[in-house]
Amino acid sequence: MDLVKFVQDEFVTRNELPKFAAGDTITVYYEIREGDKVRTQFFRGVVLQKSGSGASETFTIRKMSGTVGVERIFPINLPSIQKIEINKTGKVRRARIYYFRGLTGKKAKIKERRR
């Protein structure tokens, strides 16, 4: 295992991203390649969880697209991530807010933590 950890530390490029946690509303800007064209797209939603550690760390974001919930999992060290903006910091008591999937309307509102 030490060899795998060594290779990850030496060769995997690290993105300098802001600190965020479950309950925060963030916007992820990432590149999309379509043929030889490159464009930037964003995904804004609530962070449900952060999982893993080191080079294999990921985070899950959920947003509502009309009446359908859309979740997307991003690796922290994804090279196509350009930047992450923190729009709101949420006040939640858990590290993984899976219960948020079942909430609708006013119940799906997360209190904002003062900065």
pLDDT digits (tens, 9 = 90+) for 28-64: 999 999 999 999 999 999 999 999 887 788 999 999 9
pLDDT for the residue numbered 1: 64
Q: Is the pLDDT of residue 7 over 70?
A: yes
pLDDT for the residue numbered 56: 83
DSSP 93: S
> Which amino acid belongs to residue 58?
T
pLDDT-derived band at 2 (thresholds 50, 70, 90) equals confident
Judge contact between 23 and 62, C-beta under 8 A: no
pLDDT-derived band at 75 (thresholds 50, 70, 90) equals very high
Judge contact between 79 and 92, C-beta under 8 A: no
Judge contact between 111 and 55, C-beta under 8 A: no
